[in-house]
Amino acid sequence: MTETAATERPAPAIDSRQLRTAFGKFATGVTVVTCRTPDGTPHGATVNAFTAVSLDPPLAQVTLIRGNKASQYLEDAPFAINIMAADQLRTCLHFAGKPMKDAPRWRSEEGIPVLEGNAATIECKPWKIYDGGDHLIVIGEVTALEINDVEPLLFVSGKFREVGGFSGGSPWEGCGDSLATGWFEGSTSFRSF
């Protein structure tokens, strides 16, 4: 037996329920990703796997369950990431497969379908789609924005939540090591530690 084979051990099996619970401890916002079906009908899916990717070029990412209708419609198609406001719980539930009596309110019948009343809306054109196991990782190039002065809806540990007070008493002003404002700004030489 080689030394490498003796030291390699099979990875322990990860219980999917425990993994889901661990993932759920990361608080997220809630979005509804909207697009058009091939026949032009507006369609949406509630998604909490959303992240900013890049400022230059402006890119955003959503991750959708493989086989979800919306994931099928996003191939080479524009879409919107509707960041839900705290008062849009019923809209989130509607697009999560629990149809509500009141139909969702659409801002416009033209172009990319966008919901009305969002905390923010990010319209995208297709950039890339990647394999993400049982999900598809969809990255879009941001083409338009709308930001409203309302609180977002949150999701943590399988429950919807609202924003509370600031931790530590004040808002965070920015990253201390960013290229624009951080440790290295204006430096032309560096001393070794």
Least confident of 37-41, 128-132, 159-163: 159-163
Instruction: Give the global pTM.
Output: 0.78
Mean pLDDT value of segment 51-71: 90
For residue 27, is it within any domain?
Answer: yes
Q: 133 versus 6: which is more confidently predicted?
A: 133
- Residue 70: which domain range? 16-169
What confidence category does residue 162 fall into, taking pLDDT thresholds of 50, 70 and 90? confident
Residue 42, number of CB atoms within 10 A of its CB = 17
Residue 26: give its domain's CATH number: 2.30.110.10
What confidence category does residue 160 fall into, taking pLDDT thresholds of 50, 70 and 90? confident
Provide the number of structural domains found in the chain.
1
Give per-residue pLDDT as tens, 79-94. 999 999 999 999 999 9
